[in-house]
Amino acid sequence: MTEKLNVFAVRTLTQKEYFAPGHRACQGCAEVLAVRLVAKALGRNVIVSNATGCMEIVSSPLPFTSWRVPWFHVAFENTAAVASGIEAGLKVLMRKGRIPRKKIVSLAMAGDGGTADIGLQALSGALERGHDFIYICTDNEAYMNTGIQRSSSTPFGASTTTSPAGKVQIGQITWKKNMAAIAAAHNIPYVATACPSYPIDLVQKVKKAAEIEGPAYIHILSVCPTGWRSAPELSIKLGRLAAETGVFPLYEVDHGKYRLSIDFPKLKPVKEYIKLQGRFRHLTDDMIEQIEKRIRKEYEELKEKAAKGARDDSNRG
Amino acid sequence: MVKRIGMEVSIAAAEAVKQANVDVISAYPITPQTHIVEHLSELVANGEMDAEFFCVESEHSALSVCVGSEATGARSFTCTSAQGLALMSEITYIASGLRLPIVMIIANRTLSAPLSIWNDHSDAMSIRDCGWIQFFVENGQEVYDHVFISYRLAEDREVLLPVIINMDGFTLSHVIEPFELIEQEKIDQFLPPYQPLYRLHPDRPITMGAFALPAIFAETKKAQEVAIQSSMPKILEVLKAFGDMTGRYYRPIETYKTEDADTLLVTMGSFGETASVAVDKLRDEGRSVGLMKIRLWRPFPFEDLKKVALKAKNLVVIDRAISVGMGGPVASEVKAALYGYDVRPSVYNFVAGISGRDVAPSDFIKMVDKAEIEIEEGNREGYELYGVRE
């Protein structure tokens, strides 16, 4: 129900663009759509720290920029640390009266490689220190910028240039690292998953993250036609299928309490999601069944956590 | 006469950071840098210093936090040693490329392997080309003084470069020395609050850290090279202004009894004071020996160095680091400075005191003796590791 309403509610989003058109992202890039929505959600009072990666490369070829808000790129693995420094700098300068007091969001942005692999330590440090900032991982499930190499966020079975489907190996042989769970394990106030195929949900989560004091982590699944070997016009559909099949459930962990953003009483078969992507082309029905089994189990576990959250709520009420 | 008080050099360094009104401190503990951050955290914890202090999860993040805070216009400080510096080395290049006037103290320590916590300059040499202005100081007072000099210099709008103060680990960091502290009012006058040319702020959105294609990259590097080369007059100006305030005048190249000396010892860092004792002894024996101390490592003070070096017959360059397969890095710079002259001194190079091995005045005398004999025998550009058991 809410899902249907949200289709029309997109028109309620601001017309203002803080991430300008004319960037160099690939056709059908859902990651750049996610970034555009995040920028809309946060408005002008934000400072963005962007890790090295697709979004950095497509938006900042000197002397051009797509950014209408202050934007900073330093390196690959340290975005969370840079955003910590920005938050600290603003805080101390306001305290000492050297810049006027106002709310400015420190936003860190990185891909799955910059988050789940090389940036994990800096992220953990920043979450643990409790900086008031938002960290957004735009997850396209591999190192797309360098040519589709596997990351720890690449799903099981996916063929990438460094986990190719070969004669004796099926592609990625490890399961996707659960970054949202890792972030939640830091007991930070807010963790969420989102996808630009659900734009209102995404915008609401980013706005909530901005309002909450302390660290917030949002993990955004970002369909990548180039790396997923999918048709560019299917990007929005694929994002929806990821949620509808349970492959990428949309949920929040608000002060430790789990809540499903959209609950699907009956999940669609995982095959519907997989068959539209060339990176899974080599998988047999047996393998897909194995993947589906695991996805279902994880979805049930998540539902249990959400049910517990709801019970706690009603007990308190 | 200003009252002198005894203090551990690391504590004095931290006091200088406090007096410099630093806004953000971010660091990770590593021997022998620890006493500086420990004292800074005490100052913040006791409310004696108004700063944001973060003990972060790595040196890479320590400098990254400083890069973020400095970009908002907050005066930022970090310090490290050896492995820590190696870990943050990626960000040292970025900080200078972004023209962020961060100041860092390095308590110099040996790079592994084998692991060693003791002093030499191998850490500093590993980031020699990182684009920061780099000082090597000789004693505790100089550490304290250079904190103010460095911020004033770094934040000058004609400079806008980060600055490293190299101080020998343990030899300086852990010893108690007499200090002449500067009154706060004088420092506030010498070092007003940082006013950045550009800062990250929504009121005036800018993009910082854009990537450069080959068609524009070389121009950005040229701009950086011009900035550091043309910082030399500013360096002299700031050192003069500091001297006018305190009576302590520092120069890029310091000299001791170099007038009419045939042989000059060339040192960098705390070797200087020990070597001066050796020079005194040699002078007492009627030997024509002087001492040249390199304070400013980058930008390299070619002109000042040549003025002194070209008057001598022999230079005995003592390096505290080794570029394996080549020799001492300081000697290599000195030789480069003299290359264009037909009549130039011989340069004999010793690598000594690595990993904190003690180098006494008697060792400097032995090195002078050895170098003079070698040069006499025609070995005009020799190089050896001094005092190694074989």
Looking at residue B2, its pLDDT comes to 72
Quickly state the pLDDT bin for A10 (edges 50, 70, 90).
confident
> Which of chain A's residues have a Cβ under 8 Å away from the Cβ of B205?
44, 67-71
Quickly state the pLDDT bin for A3 (edges 50, 70, 90).
low
Class of CATH domain B4-246: alpha beta
Determine the residue among B65, B76, B206, B222 to mutate to test chain A binding: the one whose Cβ has the most chain A Cβ atoms within 10 Å.
B65
Yes or no, beta carbons of B65 and A85 under 8 Å apart = yes
Q: The tokens of A248 are what?
A: 């990428």
Asked if B170 has any chain A CB less than 8 Å from its own CB, the reply is no
Yes or no, beta carbons of A68 and B205 under 8 Å apart = yes
Quickly state the pLDDT bin for A310 (edges 50, 70, 90).
confident
Q: How far apart are CA B291 and CA B294, in angstroms?
A: 10
E strand or H helix that includes residue B314: strand B314-319
> Which of chain B's residues have a Cβ under 8 Å away from the Cβ of A44?
202, 205
Q: Which amino acid, residue A117?
A: D
**Interfacial A residues in 59-118 facing B (CB < 8 Å):** 60-65, 67-75, 77-78, 80-93, 95-96, 98-99, 104
3-class DSSP state for residue B7?
Answer: strand
- pLDDT by residue (tens digit) across A126-183? 999 999 999 999 999 999 999 999 999 999 999 999 999 999 999 999 999 999 999 9
List strands edge to edge, sheet with B52-55: B52-55, B24-27, B76-80, B103-108, B163-168, B133-136, B296-298
Looking at residue A12, its pLDDT comes to 84
Q: How far apart are CA B71 and CA B198, in angstroms?
A: 8
Quickly state the pLDDT bin for B385 (edges 50, 70, 90).
very high
User: Distance between terminal CA atoms of chain A?
Assistant: 25
- pLDDT by residue (tens digit) across B59-94? 999 999 999 999 999 999 999 999 999 999 999 999
3-class DSSP state for residue B327?
Answer: strand
Yes or no, beta carbons of B23 and A61 under 8 Å apart = no
> Which of chain A's residues have a Cβ under 8 Å away from the Cβ of B206?
70-71
Beta bridge partners of A260: A251
Looking at residue A317, its pLDDT comes to 59
Asked if B378 has any chain A CB less than 8 Å from its own CB, the reply is no
**Interfacial B residues in 37-96 facing A (CB < 8 Å):** 50-52, 54, 56-58, 60-61, 64-74, 76, 90-91, 94
Looking at residue A1, its pLDDT comes to 47
Domain assignments of chain B as residue spans, ordered by start: 4-246, 253-385
Contact B32, B174 (CB under 8 A): yes
Q: Which amino acid, residue B178?
A: P
**Interfacial A residues in 6-65 facing B (CB < 8 Å):** 44-47, 49, 56-57, 60-65
Let me know if A285 is exposed, middle or buried by CB neighbors in 10 A (0-12, 13-18, 19+): exposed
> Which of chain A's residues have a Cβ under 8 Å away from the Cβ of B209?
60, 72-74
Asked if B211 has any chain A CB less than 8 Å from its own CB, the reply is yes
Shortest alpha-carbon distance between residue B362 and chain A (Å): 48
- pLDDT by residue (tens digit) across B145-179? 999 999 999 999 999 999 999 999 999 999 999 99
3-class DSSP state for residue B182?
Answer: coil
Is the confidence at residue B116, as pLDDT, over 70? Answer: yes
Asked if A139 has any chain B CB less than 8 Å from its own CB, the reply is no
Shortest alpha-carbon distance between residue A31 and chain B (Å): 19
> Which of chain A's residues have a Cβ under 8 Å away from the Cβ of B66?
85
Quickly state the pLDDT bin for A9 (edges 50, 70, 90).
confident
Q: Pick left, alpha or beta for residue B292 (phi over 0 → left; psi -120 to 50 → alpha; otherwise beta).
A: beta
Beta bridge partners of A221: A139
Asked if B210 has any chain A CB less than 8 Å from its own CB, the reply is yes
Yes or no, beta carbons of A89 and B72 under 8 Å apart = yes
Select from A296, A233, A236, A302 the least CA-distant residue to A268: A296
Contacts of B63 (CB under 8 A, 6+ apart): B26, B78, B88, B91, B92, B95, B102, B104
- pLDDT by residue (tens digit) across A264-303? 989 999 999 999 999 999 999 999 999 999 999 999 999 9
Shortest alpha-carbon distance between residue A238 and chain B (Å): 31
Yes or no, beta carbons of B202 and A96 under 8 Å apart = no
Looking at residue A8, its pLDDT comes to 63
Yes or no, beta carbons of A89 and B74 under 8 Å apart = yes
Domain assignments of chain A as residue spans, ordered by start: 2-316
Query: Which residue of chain A comes nearest to B194, CA vs CA?
Result: A98
Yes or no, beta carbons of A121 and B61 under 8 Å apart = yes
Is the confidence at residue A58, as pLDDT, over 70? Answer: yes
Q: What is the mean pLDDT of chain A?
A: 95
CB contacts < 8 A, A to B, total 165
Q: How far apart are CA B292 and CA B266, in angstroms?
A: 5
Contact B24, B77 (CB under 8 A): yes
Q: How far apart are CA A202 and CA B315, in angstroms?
A: 68
Quickly state the pLDDT bin for B390 (edges 50, 70, 90).
confident
What ipTM score was computed for the predicted complex, to two decimals? 0.96
- pLDDT by residue (tens digit) across B288-332? 999 999 999 999 999 999 999 999 999 999 999 999 999 999 999
Class of CATH domain B253-385: alpha beta
Select from B271, B248, B267 the least CA-distant residue to B139: B271
Yes or no, beta carbons of B69 and A96 under 8 Å apart = no
Q: Pick left, alpha or beta for residue B372 (phi over 0 → left; psi -120 to 50 → alpha; otherwise beta).
A: alpha
Looking at residue B1, its pLDDT comes to 58
Yes or no, beta carbons of A92 and B66 under 8 Å apart = no
Query: Which residue of chain B comes nearest to A58, CA vs CA?
Result: B211
Yes or no, beta carbons of A84 and B207 under 8 Å apart = no
Beta bridge partners of A135: A108, A217
Asked if B324 has any chain A CB less than 8 Å from its own CB, the reply is no
Q: How far apart are CA A172 and CA A155, in angstroms?
A: 7
Query: Which residue of chain A comes nearest to B210, CA vs CA?
Result: A60
Contacts of A183 (CB under 8 A, 6+ apart): A123, A127, A135, A191, A217, A219
Q: Which amino acid, residue A214?
A: G
Q: How far apart are CA B316 and CA B346, in angstroms?
A: 8
Q: Which amino acid, residue B318?
A: I
Q: What is the mean pLDDT of chain B?
A: 97
Contact A91, A31 (CB under 8 A): no
Q: Is domain A2-316 annotated with CATH 3.40.50.970?
A: yes
Domains B4-246 and B253-385 share a fold: yes
Looking at residue A4, its pLDDT comes to 55
Contacts of A121 (CB under 8 A, 6+ apart): A77, B57, B58, B61
Mean pLDDT, residues B249-256: 98
Instruction: Using DSSP bridges, classify how beta strands A257-260 and B24-27 pair: parallel, antiparallel or unpaired.
Output: unpaired
E strand or H helix that includes residue B84: helix B82-97
